[in-house]
Amino acid sequence: MNYYLKRRILFLAFLSFCVILQAQREEKRISGHVRDSQDLPLAGVNIKVKNTPYGAISNEKGEYVLKGQWEPGVSIEFSFIGMKRKVVTYKGQTRLDVTLLDDVNNMDEVVVTAKANINEIDIRARSGVVQEVDMRRINSKPMIDMGLALQGSVPGLIIQNTGELGSTPEIRIRGNSSLRKGNTTNEPLYIMDGKVISPETFYNLNPMDIKEIKVLKDAAACALYGIKAANGVLEITSQRGVSGQTMVTYTLDMGVTTRGRRGVSMMDSAEKLELERLLQNPETPGYRYSADYYNKYYAGDPNLSQLIASGEQKLNELRNINTDWFKELIRNNLYQKHNVSIRGGSEQTTYYISANYTKQGGRLPGNDKQRMSLRMNLDQKLGHIGYALLSVNGGYAKTNTPNGSTSDPTQLVYELNPYETKDGGELISYPGRTYKDLMNQFSQESAAKTAGISGSLTLNPLPGLDIAAVAGLDFLLDETEQFTPSTSYSEMTSGIPELKRGIFAKSKNTTTNISTNIRATYNHVFAGRHDLTLGANMDYYLTQLDNVSITGYGVGTINSAAAINHSIQGTRQAEVGALKDKNAQLGLGAVLGYTFDNIYDFYATYKADASSILPSDKRWNSAWAVGIGWTPSYYSFLADNTVLTRLNLKASYGYTANLNGVSVSSTVATFAYSNNAYEDQRVLELMGLYNKDLKPEQTKSIDAGVSIELFNRVTLETSWYNRRTEQALLDVPIPSSTGYTTLKRNIGILENRGIEFGLKAKVLDTRDWILNLRWNMAYNRNKVIDLYYADKIYASEDVLVPDYEVGKSYDMIYGPQSLGINPLTGYPVFLVKDNKEKQASETLTVDDVVALGHSTPPYTGSFGLSLSYKAFDLDVDFYYVHGGIHQFNYSYVRDKDNVNRNAVAGQTERMWFKAGDEGKVYPTPFYTSATAEENLTLYPNSLTVGKSDYLKLSMISLRYRVDQRFLRKTIPFVKYATFAFQGSNLFTWTSYKESDPESGTLAGSMQPIYTFNMNLTF
């Protein structure tokens, strides 16, 4: 009995052991998020269960799912290049969220951090303003232009669309830093993987190749780059490889672009014919077939009633035609993007390779842009002493446009009459021409070819000492072709002999940027509390420009330089132009950083730069900054505070010399060969009147900021700044008797002062729900503080409106204050000095014009949300501006002489026609005062400008993440898969009366884009 009982007990024990063993061998599942120290998701993190074959890689949202069979107590390792490994012991967790920290040097272990940009020193952010762009949201915007995609991403980074697809955007950090206008003078410095790149290279970058973009705003953050960084810096870091299994990712965006905002509504046929009747232009059918016309010119004709009836029948036929030229000429189009990337590697060597093709069709026939790019990044670990990084890239972008001729297709939307059709014969709006004559009048093709290579070497020969070097080359070939065929209406009616018709122009501009930088950095923590960083560097930057252009005639219908007729003499003789320029900058710098107990921070940097632009005795200039930081939340009595989880205050002051937009010919006598000749001798001409006393602009900036985090959920950041540009440069008018019209001089002081806010809130963070809200706002007040030689600067003695005025913004719009249309005269009445009234028919004086408002809105910002529910992710972003004005175009308001073209809807009711008409908006269409017409043509007034405020739904993305269990069972070779519907620039709310409140043009509205997105990782 005992024998059988023992056997049964042994059997039950064995069975229990098997059950327990089987339970331990059942598949485990762990999911979670991996984030960096700034709480941003980390993609490509290698997650591995040690001593097992099980592992996973985090996706673009930092999410991972780890499945397999392992026992309690095993170690789970999280690793990512450039970050500290993290090892967690498995204790039965089903969710594991991890934060990885950047590698830092310490006394016990030599850790080398690989950075492609060796100026990317962490201590800058302790007292300077360094803000990071959320690249995940940028990649959710289906846009072909990298610059425009950044709009609203960071407060104070102001990006404005300037026109049609392919036009150059305007990018500013905290406003214009110079009185001189234009991108060359005011846009930031672009740095990618440690090398300087051209703006065109930046615009055409593939955002999926970018790991991060940092916006450097103040002197403390920018001073490491010296005098080139006076306007701020966009610091771009490309994607790198990861150690682990090779991943291949394919991303597809396919969708449509739509017409966008109509803006100005034009007349229908009935209203247009009535306007023509009222204006009594016999060249227009509204008057030519009206009873008014017949009663005036055929009063004695016995068939008068038949003529009137016949005319009314013709008018009725025209009223029944209502062509919507906005829909006829502005079209929907297609958008597509294909991206393939391969990344992987071992512990020693990692790689990243990508290829991209994107094409966006424009709103106009003949307008489109396409972009192709290739990139390869290779990282090699050099034993225990360092890393070597190599990056190679190439790109091609092409933009086509039909704009640029006298028959701009966009303008035709506002000119062709609603009773005209494409096949209706001769046009009333363009007498003697058909619709076909207006098309194919002009074409322009712009192509940008880029190539670049950069390499960096980081060595750690001694504990705490890093010696790093980077060298890079950025090459841009920018080609533009313009073609006007001999069959175009403008050529056929020019009176030029047929052999001389047809115009071809081509320019080839190359820009080569060479960057080298060597930096030594020493970091050591003394007694566990004193963190000291010392550094020094030497850099060299070289920029070479080589431009060639040709314009030839007599090409007929052949779009090629080979067809130019070189036998033509006189005004249509072929012309060739060329310019070659080179400038270099050599710099020496030092940096000091000190942190005590993680609470008190001090930062200082000094950079001396020598520029070849200036004469040898003025060649050296400097950039320096000092900053302090205080983080009281690290005090012991606040360390465990669950309400105030972080508090940081910082301030900085710095100085930077600025030579952006200054050429050698502005400071030194520079000669070029003229197209003219004296007998058989070539003539050398001075390129411009130079100023040997010219000084660099001097930018002095103060910045103070506060960052508060509450409950580990709500973060508020605010920053106040004052940037003062002294010795501001301007091309000022000089007497033409000198042989020149302008001279570049140090003319005054310009100030940008503002405040920026950023708010992020984690509203929900549960297993199924995640909700994050965000908002930012920036205010920038731009003001001319001083003009050294006068209170106002005028372009000439004849103009009334100043270009610049002390106490006003540099971009102020001036004009008289209007009291409305005088019911007796039909012209405006202006309110002038001493509250007196002046009729528009009287000559205006300098004292009669006032500042009407800013053309650049002082307030900009964005707000949005990110919502996740299980496998669904929703992102929404809005962008807004406030406080600016634009002058209305008013080219669509017709008078008697141009009423043959269509007019704005409502003009018939809102225009003054006869004495006694009250409450009208548009002045008389009949010329009765030459002075009044000149005043209205030359100067805006308070009624011909409008607020350019707008709110735009800039991005929406709804994404679904396919369950990995489903993929493993059905498509095992696909590791991750997401599908999304995405859109950009979807809708704009504005009170602005014309087409585009952003660019202030009739043609410049950005296209709404709707796409289907698919992302597959193999």
Q: What is the mean pLDDT of residues 369-392?
A: 92
Give yes or no for residue 117 having a pLDDT over 70. Answer: yes
Q: What is the mean pLDDT of residues 109-121?
A: 62
Give yes or no for residue 23 having a pLDDT over 50. Answer: no
d(CA 419, CA 388): 69
The total number of residues written for the chain in this structure: 1018
Q: What is the mean pLDDT of residues 420-444?
A: 88
Could you identify the residue written with the tokens 């314009």?
551
Instruction: Pick the more confident residue, 683 or 519.
Output: 519
Per-residue pLDDT tens digits for 534-560: 999 999 999 999 999 999 999 999 999
pLDDT of 110 reads 34
Q: 240-244, 249-253, 274-278, 281-285 — which is least confidently predicted?
A: 240-244
Using CA atoms of 891, 894, 899, 903 in order, give the dihedral in degrees to the nearest 10.
70
Question: What band does 243 get if pLDDT is binned at 50, 70 and 90?
Answer: confident
Per-residue pLDDT tens digits for 304-326: 999 999 999 999 999 999 999 99
Spatial contact of 922 and 903, defined as CB atoms under 8 Å apart:
no
d(CA 788, CA 94): 70
Around 195, how many Cα atoms within 13 Å sit in the side-chain half-sphere? 28
* Phi, psi (rounded to 5 degrees) for 503: -125, 130
Long-range contacts of 817-823 (CB under 8 A, 24+ apart): 817/850, 817/941, 817/942, 818/941, 818/942, 818/943, 818/944, 820/919, 820/943, 821/912, 821/917, 821/920, 821/921, 821/922, 821/923, 823/912, 823/915, 823/916, 823/917, 823/918, 823/920
952: which strand partners?
879, 988
Question: What band does 106 get if pLDDT is binned at 50, 70 and 90?
Answer: very low
Spatial contact of 986 and 259, defined as CB atoms under 8 Å apart:
no
pLDDT of 99 reads 85
Fold of domain 24-102 = Immunoglobulin-like (2.60.40)
Instruction: Provide the CA 392 distance to its chain's centre, in angstroms.
Output: 24
d(CA 196, CA 583): 14
Question: What band does 24 get if pLDDT is binned at 50, 70 and 90?
Answer: very low
Per-residue pLDDT tens digits for 473-518: 999 999 999 999 998 888 888 889 999 999 999 999 999 999 999 9
User: Could you tell me the two tokens for 440?
Assistant: 């194919």
d(CA 754, CA 291): 63
Q: What is the mean pLDDT of residues 105-130?
A: 65
The pTM assigned to this predicted structure is: 0.86
Per-residue pLDDT tens digits for 657-696: 999 988 888 888 888 887 777 777 788 888 888 898 899 9
pLDDT of 112 reads 39
Question: What band does 383 get if pLDDT is binned at 50, 70 and 90?
Answer: confident
Per-residue pLDDT tens digits for 164-174: 787 888 999 99
Q: What is the mean pLDDT of residues 859-885?
A: 95
Give yes or no for residue 883 having a pLDDT over 70. Answer: yes
Give yes or no for residue 794 having a pLDDT over 90. Answer: no
Give yes or no for residue 138 having a pLDDT over 80. Answer: yes
Q: What is the mean pLDDT of residues 139-163?
A: 90
- Other CB atoms within a 10 A radius of the CB of residue 193 amount to 29
Tell me the average pLDDT of the chain: 89
Give yes or no for residue 128 having a pLDDT over 60. Answer: yes
Q: 50-59, 446-455, 856-865 — which is least confidently predicted?
A: 50-59
Spatial contact of 849 and 816, defined as CB atoms under 8 Å apart:
yes
CA torsion through residues 40, 44, 45, 49, sign: positive
pLDDT of 447 reads 93
Question: What band does 81 get if pLDDT is binned at 50, 70 and 90?
Answer: low
Q: Which residues contact 594 (CB under 8 A, 6 or more apart)?
A: 530, 531, 532, 533, 601, 602, 603
Give yes or no for residue 893 having a pLDDT over 70. Answer: yes
Per-residue pLDDT tens digits for 463-483: 889 999 999 999 999 999 999
Per-residue pLDDT tens digits for 589-638: 999 999 999 899 999 999 999 999 998 888 999 999 999 999 999 888 88
Give yes or no for residue 759 having a pLDDT over 50. Answer: yes
pLDDT of 4 reads 53
d(CA 115, CA 393): 17
pLDDT of 986 reads 93
Q: Where are the domains of the chain?
A: 24-102, 269-321
Give yes or no for residue 163 having a pLDDT over 80. Answer: no
pLDDT of 494 reads 86
% of the chain beyond a pLDDT of 70 = 95
pLDDT of 707 reads 94
User: Could you tell me the two tokens for 659?
Assistant: 């030579």
Strands 98-99 and 28-35: parallel
